[in-house]
Structure 1
């Protein structure tokens, strides 16, 4: 088996050992060779790859796949970055993928028992990959408001914020009004706020003839 780079080989070894429920360590790791063994000294499992100078790839030269040690349901190789990379596809397919569902997924797929804090952090990282960082999104609200006013002259946009003790401001709500470009005309007014999870949602909307103090 061949790999384009040494890192590809290391990643494949880590993936394999996590699936197998074993802990390994790299005892040789330089520019021309890479060797991994089981962390249990009595176990004879080993994989060795070296660089093939003819086609500049890394090729497995030795692979003894016979663990004499027992399987484990925890593995330091299954770190936060690895967990998040696995959860990205789940979050894309199931936007409301929950922490308990993630725990069940890793238990059934890899027989891993993970701490809930580890899952929570990895799930948050996966959501940031899929949806972007929340702070970055909120920072774009003023640009969004300016764009609305530029595209729809005469519209009204108000962003409500809460002043924090440290002097920073936190988004509270946004009020938006825009002209309807239809035969009937009028304006559509909407009010949005954030919930306990800091997600924006529409509180109410209405269509009126004209925006005034009554509406």
Structure 2
């Protein structure tokens, strides 16, 4: 009686579970052994027989252990019996050795690992089949004659994917044109580089990919990958601006009695960030012991949205700089300086305190007019 026939009879309930193991042993003789109450099968079987045996034993509450050892090596391999390993990404996929039975949490993980393996080893792998329950991968090297092959399938009982078959031998040489590499996947790998150097040229981007993985990519692919990576990086700026109120509340939570202002505009029902003001209580209280000098300056913000950082600093008795308050604004002009100085003067104690200070600046756009309107006759000095 064939293995397939025995399993079909068991699945149809023609024999009871109490004698199932006995039926296995009698039918398959020495090909079935019992180790720690687990059924261990040593045999060659067709793929449909393997799938049926695996699913039946799992649903029946019995663990099936797939081994590749011969019967005379059974004594030396008893310690290896157990559940199959779950894949863990190594430091390098170069010359990686695949293991039959390895679990993957989802199909996407297996596909990403195949791409990484192909890139690290310079192998022109292709997805021969990629559907809901099965993925087969072949190597197109050596004009399609390479023997390398991988088959991964979904196990409904385990809710995971498992590497069912692997022929881990390449008969092809290294290929510098890996077709599995695409712009979207490459952008994920190069996102850190683009974040650190957002103005990297396309050719520099392409050269770095070639040096890192020893593969060739077209200029168009390098351009698309760089654009996608920049969009992912710049997208974080958009997300952070949406959380500007969370940032303001966190400043107030960590620095009670501080002054934080957020100014927004409502354009067609959409809230758009305009300005942000912060004056921490500790800095404001420390200014009382500082010299009556306030330095005023502005700086450009570099990034997707740009803007200006307007700052005021004091000078303490040790000639150290003390930040007093700052504003993030879209542009530096009279209106933004006036809004900043009105809040600053009010936080420091009013016009009397502001008029007793000397303002030092390099005559930024609109600053002198704003100071003259708010504090007429106040002392002003200019940077050399």
Distance change in 2, residues 1:175/1:29 (3 Å): closer
Q: Secondary structure at the match of 1:133?
A: helix
Which structure 2 segments of 5+ residues have no match?
1-97, 156-160, 315-323, 325-344, 351-373, 379-384
Q: Secondary structure at the match of 1:117?
A: helix
Q: Secondary structure at the match of 2:190?
A: helix
Tell me if structure 2 keeps the 8 A contact 1:175–1:189. no
Structure ranking higher in strand proportion: 1
Distance change in 2, residues 1:138/1:50 (3 Å): closer
Tell me if structure 2 keeps the 8 A contact 1:161–1:170. yes
Question: In the TM superposition, what are the counterparts of 1:1-215 in structure 2 within 5 Å?
Answer: 1-2=98-99, 3-5=102-104, 7=107, 9-19=110-120, 20=122, 22-27=124-129, 34-38=135-139, 42-45=143-146, 46-49=148-151, 58=163, 60-67=165-172, 71=175, 73=177, 75=179, 77-90=180-193, 95-96=196-197, 98-100=199-201, 101-110=204-213, 111-113=215-217, 114-125=221-232, 127=233, 133-149=236-252, 151-153=255-257, 155-164=258-267, 166-179=268-281, 180=283, 181-182=285-286, 184-185=288-289, 195=302, 197-198=304-305, 202-207=309-314, 210=348, 212=350, 213-214=374-375
Aligned length: 202
Q: Secondary structure at the match of 2:228?
A: helix
Specify which structure has the bigger relative contact order, considering alpha-carbon pairs within 8 angstroms and separated by 6 or more residues. 1
Partners of 2:261 and 2:142 in 1: CA distance: 66
Tell me if structure 2 keeps the 8 A contact 1:25–1:39. no
Which structure 1 segments of 5+ residues have no match?
none
Superposition deviation, residue 41 in structure 1? 10
Partners of 1:15 and 1:64 in 2: CA distance: 17
Tell me if structure 1 keeps the 8 A contact 2:126–2:140. yes
Superposition deviation, residue 42 in structure 1? 4.3
Q: Secondary structure at the match of 1:112?
A: coil
Superposition deviation, residue 89 in structure 1? 4.7
Distance change in 2, residues 1:10/1:58 (3 Å): same
Structure ranking higher in helix proportion: 2
TM-score (norm 2): 0.41
Higher Cα Rg: structure 1 or 2?
Answer: 2
TM-score (norm 1): 0.65
When the two chains are superposed, the root-mean-square deviation of aligned CA atoms in Å is: 4.3
Tell me if structure 2 keeps the 8 A contact 1:35–1:49. yes
Tell me if structure 1 keeps the 8 A contact 2:123–2:139. no
